[in-house]
Every structure is written in structure tokens, then in C-alpha cells.
Structure 1
Amino acid sequence: MALPHWTPDNLLPPGRHPADLSDIYERFVWDAPHRNERENLFGALGGYLGVVMRMIPAGRAWISGGFTTRMDGVPRDIDVLLLPDDWGSLKRLDSVARAEIYGLLTLRGVIVEQPVMYLDQVQPVGGLLDGFLCRPGDEETWAETWSAVRGPHGTVEGLVKGFAEVTW
């Protein structure tokens, strides 16, 4: 399942590319700049997916963000979209398990008590990941988002990138 080679723009070719963790390591750590920083992100991804696979019996994860490009800048995190095979199983979770699932997701605009504080964003794994959950029927919207190339001033028009898909 090796991931395709980089395009001349240092991106994966457009589309969703099946991969396992060894494929992700080979392309996004070994064959990319800033290997040490990417090693840390990859370690966070492996741990994160291990927890996800324990909590969600079957599904897919789409891996994207700056980590999945070969750009010169150091990627600050990895973007992960979770697509459970059985959405109903998530709806049937008790409140404790549901809280554990929320711990896997990036939360925005959070108010915390004791001490009371407002946080713009809370990310899993100490901020090394942005985790999102795809509701059934929203796959196309997420695919467009995951394919967009972002630069320092927003989305780069005319460029589209691919992303990796891990299935369990």
C-alpha cells in the first residue's frame, strides 16, 4: 500500500490514498524534511490511533495537514478525521465512554471550571494532533477540506493535495 511519490509541488497527488502506519512513516517522516520533529508527531499519531482503535471498533482515519506535505516549514501538528463504520455504536455509548471519545477530539471555544477559564482550542496529545469526527453524509465536505492546500495567507488557489487513509 505504499503512498504515491511527491508531486513537483511537494504534495501527495490528489485523492484518498490507503496506507498503514509504516507507509505513513516512510513518506511523511523518512522522505520529508525536519525528520526529528516529524518523528515526534508520528509517535503521537501512533498512540492516538491505538486509543481510537480500542474505542471505535471499526472505521477509517484520514490523515492530512502540513505533516502530509514535503514543504520546508516544520509541521506543528497532524490533522486526523475519524470516520466510524457504525455511527450508531457511538450514539449508544454511556456518558463515561462518550466523554472519552470527546477527549480524542479538538474542541474549540471551551469553558473550563475550577479554575474557571476560557480556552480557544483544546487539542489531543498535548496539541500534536487535531482530531475531528465525521458525521455520516459529511464525507465529501471533509474530503474537500482535507484536499485544500493552506499557505501562510490561507487556502492556496489552484493547488489540491491528497491525504492518507488508515482503515481498521
Structure 2
Amino acid sequence: MIPAFEDGAWYLPQGLHAATLDEIEERFVVAAPFSDRRRVVFDGFRLWHEIITSIVPDARFWVDGGFVTHKPWAAPSDVDVTVMLRPDDLNNLTDDEQQRLAPMFTAPGPPRQQPMSGLVDAFICLRGNVDNTLYWREHWSTVLDQNREKVTGTRKGFLEVKP
């Protein structure tokens, strides 16, 4: 269950919080500011999620970014997500599955290219890789203000969608 925002906050309390896609939709589309834009972003994310899970059923998804906030100054442009995969899950993919999976992640630029017409900003983290896991935990916990400046001394939460 997604926790409530703390008094005056527009972001989740610090930590990794379990959530279903339906809970994310209710909280960050239906009950959020800029719901029309959020609907477009979420629909792209849901389809993307279905494609990934059809290829790698045991994937876990760490979801973050402006999408999982209620920041009042701007609509989210995309959903930020790290897909947590076991090395064996990747190693056991067929050539066809590898070909289908590859374009589903953000390609560094220039020009930077994101899947789903830019609605998803997606990265892979191998489960068990401590350094990468710590990097994503730190990255997704960072609070940015309206000018995209880091808010020091403040940490926020993010979501995990499991199979």
C-alpha cells in the first residue's frame, strides 16, 4: 500500500514502498494534479510494463520521478523506472526475446532516446549488484525542487512493483 504524504509534502515518505499498478493509477493519475497528462504517461507505462513482464516475468520495477509525486508546478513528462533483473533472467533469454527487450530501455544520447515515445525513462539494474542497487536507491531518494536543484537534507520514497 502506498503511504500518505507527510504534512505539507508533495512526495512519498522516505523508503521503498510496495505498490500495484492499480494503486499507482489511483494515487498518481486519478487523485493527482495534471491528471490528463498523467493518464497519457501512465497508459504508456502500463503497456511498457506488460511488454517487459511478458519477456521477463520475474522483473521488479522501481518507479520514481515526478510521476510519483504531487508536485504542484508541473505535469510529469514521463515515468522513471529501474527494472531489477536477475543475471540468469537475462542470460536465459532467447535471441528473439533479447531483440524485443533491447529497445525497451533508455538509450544514452545524443540524442537520448526513451521508449514509448518518451513516456518511460527506463534503466536496468542487475539484482545482487550492490553498487548499482545503492546507486539507484540513492538516485530515486533525491528530492529536486522546482528549479531541478537538489534539496539537501531531504529524502523521498519511491515504489516497487513486483510480479
TM-score (norm 2): 0.90
Which deviations, in whole Å up to 9, do the C-alpha atoms of 1:14-72 show, x marking residues without a partner?
Answer: 11110101110121112210011111111111101100110102121011000011101
Between 151-160 and 7-16, the greater mean CA deviation after superposition: 151-160
Report the Cα offset of residue 97 of structure 1: 2.3
Please show how residues 43-62 of structure 1 align to structure 2 within 5 Å.
Answer: 43-62=43-62
User: Which residue of structure 1 aligns with residue 13 of structure 2?
Assistant: 13
How far apart are 1:99 and its partner, in Å?
Answer: 2.6
Give the number of aligned pairs: 157
Residues of 2 paired with 1:129 and 1:89: CA distance? 22
2:83 aligned residue? 82
**Cα root mean square deviation, aligned:** 1.4
Question: Hey, what's the Cα distance between the residues in 1 that align with 2:21 and 2:89?
Answer: 25
Please state which structure has a larger fraction of its residues in helix: 2
Give the residue type in structure 2 aligned to 1:48.
W
Greater share of strand residues, 1 or 2?
1
Please give the alpha-carbon distance, in whole angstroms, between the structure 2 residues aligned to 1:26 and 1:62: 18
Partner in structure 1 of residue 158 of structure 2:
163
**CA deviation profile, 1:81-128 (whole Å, cap 9, x unmatched):** 1012x321202334432232211100112xxxxxxxxx4201000001
TM-score, normalised via structure 1 length: 0.87
Q: Partner amino acid for 2:17?
A: H
Which residues of structure 1 form unaligned runs of 5+? 110-118
With 123-132 and 147-156 compared, the bigger mean Cα shift is at 147-156
For residue 3 of structure 2, what is the amino acid of its counterpart?
P
Q: For residues 71 and 36 of structure 2, what CA distance do their matches in structure 1 show? A: 15
Residue segments in structure 2 that go unaligned for 5+ positions in a row: none
Separation in 1, partners of 2:5, 2:24: 13
- Inter-CA distance 32–108: structure 2 relative to 1 (3 Å threshold): same
Picking from 123, 132, 139, the partner of 2:123 is: 132
Instruction: Provide the residue aligned with 1:103 in structure 2.
Output: 103
Secondary structure of 2:122 counterpart: strand
Larger Cα-atom Rg = 1
Per the alignment, in what secondary structure is the counterpart of residue 108 of structure 2?
strand
Residue 108 of structure 1 aligns to a residue whose secondary structure is coil
Superposition pairs of residues 66-81 of structure 1, within 5 angstroms: 66-72=66-72, 73-81=74-82
Question: Residues of 2 paired with 1:31 and 1:98: CA distance?
Answer: 37
